Amino acid sequence: MSNIRTWLAELSSEEIEHFLGEVPRLWLEGRRIKKLCCLLTDFNFIEAKINHPNFGIQALIEDYDLIEKTELLTHREYNDYSVKGLKLIQGALQLSAHILNEDKTQLAAQLWGRLQSFKTREIGVLLQQAKQMKASPWLRPLSVSFMPPGGRLLRTLSGHTGLVSDVAVTPDGKRVISASEDYTLKLWNLETGTELLTLKGHQGLVQSLAVTPNGKQIISGSTDQTLKVWDLETGTQLFTLKGHTSSVDTLTVMPDGKKVVSGSHDNTIKFWDLENKKEIFTLIGHTERVADIAITPDGKWVISASADKTLKMWNIATGKLIFTLNGHTAWVESVTVTPDGKRLISGSHDNTIKIWDLETQRELITCTGHGHSVESLAVTPDGKLLVSSSRIVIKVWDIETGEEILSLIGHSDWVGTVTISPDSKLLISGSYDQTIKIWSLVTGDEVYSLNGHVDSINVLAVTPNAKLVISGSYDHTIKIWHLENAKLIYTLQGHTDNITALVVTPDSKKVISVSSDNTIKIWEIKTGKELFTLKSDSNLLESVTITPDGKKIIVGLSQGLIEVWSLRKREKIATLKGSTRLIDPITVTPNGEKIITGAVCNNNYNIGNCKVFNFKTGRENLTLKGHTHSIESFAVTPDSKHLISASWDNTVKIWDLETGEELFTFTGHTFWVQGVAVTQDGKWVISASSDNTLKVWNLLTHEIIASFIADGELLCCAVAPDGVTIVAGEASGRLHFLRLEGVEK
């Protein structure tokens, strides 16, 4: 235990507050530089300050700004080595702020997950202190699985309880406004990430927003069919504009700040007078919803993008349609204009970005780097760079050449909106993962890449020999990793659609994968080579498992069918009728006697049940009823007596497989439970959830042993035979390799 922890325990509350709040500054003024550096790398000081009610994470982050004082740079005790380590620690704390504001017990895990690849003395001391100071069980990252400091990502803002649908920056570049489907708008300090105001008043999802050029007002559009105008300084609602007959999906303010233009799901574009608080006129021409609008810099033309696959240009003075651009083959979701007014840029559900010459209406460039629909576009004020978002990926392009410059991956769900600060230095993104992220466009290590997929990881397995981890992703690939050091060995490519499930053979020699491309592929783990492909008659393969003897593959299909395949003969040998819905998940008990299936609920959210079949006869023995939503994952205890099921009803249930009785329910998650695993000794259950947490439960006492908070949704998990090495897959494509510390095995 460090001297600081012992010393703090002996101080009064007033003395502790003085020490945490004033001593760093006083040591700076007294030129006690070495002591200041030691203080800022002491885990106990860091932990005490973020836990103190009068300070917290932001006050701690500001302590590190002391090292920027000019007079220190030539001090003999303050060398570059110290500067580097301290700045990296500050950067890690800044990146972790949104998680530590939610749960301060995650401090050690956050520091380990962001800093362990940096080999400075300060960081080494800090991490070892963090490891030693944790008295209760905790999950320690074994590799860098969070975004590290020094990269493009600067900060994450969290506070919304619904997806973030739009973001904007105030003209002075100091504040960010976000709109969310939680019916609110929020105002944030861009430098500190502090939430300044929450604006409430809409009776529906807030879909769009804009700020007036003078920075005094915010305009918001909602599914309640209204636009609302707010005072930016006070958050007061000034007035409401009504006229649309459906959701207001997009809006922008004219350059003079006196008029606002809105596009709606009712297929129309409306112009509003902000001074007189009334509608001026309506543009009609699109045959489907207006998804986005842009105004040329001279304020003379409005361009609209629509789900009818077209872009239209209108004369604002007359309201007349000037021309229509055809070229996209699917919805046009986003549109923007370059600052010089010469080029129009559009993004579409056909996965492309098109750059057009506005004068000639000619298509100049098509950018084809995205793998999903292009949701949002923004151009830097200098007109040189284009930013686009598609699913979880943000790309930056050279507008002149159409070449991709860099990709940014940090969100764990669709990035629906991007904007750029007035000085072109910062990129702000809003996502369905309910967060806003602040990125640097001018500094940072853009080549640093976290190990992982480029899309969501939805399935994981650890080989029975405890040496490897296999992951499957929406990016159509399977990756093989060393369990011990989290190093990537192979990427298996061959599927042409999402990997929906995979399983490893009992001898650890092969992995079997199923995909939305309707194929079953068998791969050799040692070489990473595809051995052969099985083609199912079904058009939707949902799940796969293997018998304990490794001889048969069992696949869950659409229409509630279960197919049994001979691995040796490479042929289907039986088809069982399991349900009227999709079979997902599916598993076989370790003794090989039972097949257990779940049924994916349809859009009506029907109740999800588990069905238990006798494997030899194919007859249904039991139906396990209790979940109120889809069942996403199964695990069976090694003795084949108990089933653990994870569901979208936010629960994990334990069942008796002999009687069908529900024994108990774990209710600690606050959102969908996506994955579940059980240790080989049957003592602990691991669950992964869309609430961003992984939890370890004691199966006997039903208590939570340890929790881990990720940056985004966790979709799957697996546990090694040692019972303490756990792997979790995130919707962002990252893998978290974790060690359960502080427990006896």
Tens of pLDDT, residues 457-486 = 999 999 999 999 999 999 999 999 999 999
Residue 606 has pLDDT above 50, yes or no: no
Angle, vertex CA 118, rays to CA 113 and CA 121, nearest 5 = 115
pLDDT digits (tens, 9 = 90+) for 155-193: 999 999 999 999 999 999 999 999 999 999 999 999 999
Q: Which of 269, 337, 265, 343 is nearest to 307 (CA)?
A: 265
| Confidence grade of residue 18 (pLDDT, cut at 50, 70, 90) | very high
- Can you give the pLDDT at residue 514? 94
- Can you give the pLDDT at residue 10? 83
- Can you give the pLDDT at residue 602? 52
Q: At what angle do helices 121-133 and 80-102 cross, to 10 degrees?
A: 30
Question: Is the distance from CB of 511 to CB of 544 less than 8 angstroms?
Answer: no
| DSSP sequence for 538-588 | SS-EEEEEE-TTS-EEEEEEGGGEEEEEETTTTEEEEEEE--SS-EEEEEE
Question: What is the C-alpha separation between 436 and 187, in angstroms, rounded?
Answer: 11
Question: What is the C-alpha separation between 594 and 612, in angstroms, rounded?
Answer: 7
CA 199 vs CA 46, 162, 699: distances in Å: 33, 14, 44
CA 126 vs CA 99, 151, 330, 528: distances in Å: 19, 21, 52, 39
Average pLDDT estimate for 324-338: 97
Residue 226 carries which DSSP code? E
Average pLDDT estimate for 552-556: 93
pLDDT digits (tens, 9 = 90+) for 171-180: 999 999 999 9
Q: Is the pTM of this model over 0.75?
A: yes
- Amino acid letter at 2? S
78-92, 134-148, 265-279, 718-732: least confident range: 78-92
Rounded to a whole number of angstroms, the CA Rg of the chain reads 28
| Confidence grade of residue 598 (pLDDT, cut at 50, 70, 90) | confident
Question: Is the distance from CB of 293 to CB of 305 less than 8 angstroms?
Answer: yes
- Can you give the pLDDT at residue 446? 47
Average pLDDT estimate for 193-214: 97
Residue 334 has pLDDT above 60, yes or no: yes
| Residue 324, token pair as written in the block | 């229509």
Question: What is the C-alpha separation between 633 and 584, in angstroms, rounded?
Answer: 8
Q: Which of 683, 702, 684, 706 is nearest to 694 (CA)?
A: 706
Q: Which residue has the tokens 């940090």?
A: 410
Residue 200 pairs in a beta bridge with 184
Average pLDDT estimate for 387-397: 96
- Can you give the pLDDT at residue 692? 96
Residue 539 has pLDDT above 80, yes or no: no
Average pLDDT estimate for 4-16: 84
Question: What is the C-alpha separation between 673 and 588, in angstroms, rounded?
Answer: 21
Question: What is the C-alpha separation between 459 and 457, in angstroms, rounded?
Answer: 6
- Domain annotation for the chain: domains and CATH numbers: 3-133 (no CATH), 156-440 (2.130.10.10)
- What stretches of 443-512 show up as alpha helix (H) in DSSP? none
In 3-state terms, what secondary structure has residue 109?
helix
